[in-house]
Amino acid sequence: MADATAHLDGNCLAGPLSEILAVEPTTAWWRRPECARSGPLAELHVYGPEPGLTACCPGCTYIALRLVRDGGYVWLTVGG
Ligand SMILES: [Zn+2]
């Protein structure tokens, strides 16, 4: 069944994030003050892969983080 809002789950961020953060990313918890929602990284809705992975809050679709690969660099932006 086709899903117009198809997205990946937050687990796809685990690889790239683990290169940056010294924690197991899928067990990290995020919290968006805008909607007071929180949960494990895996619950984020992730869109990508180009121009980078964008992870949105499943509650309000606010961008929680953005991860862009550029050559040998990984750019991580937290928040919109
Ligand atoms: Zn939210």
Residues of the chain under the 50 pLDDT cut: none
CA of 69 to the centre of ligand 1 (A): 25
Residue 15, pLDDT score: 80
CA of 3 to the centre of ligand 1 (A): 21
Three-state SS annotation for the chain: CCCCCCCEEHHHHHHHHHHHCCCCHHHCEEEECCCCEEEEHHHCEEECCCCCEEEECCCCCCEEEEEEEECCEEEEEECC
Q: Is this prediction's pTM over 0.85? A: no
CA of 38 to the centre of ligand 1 (A): 8
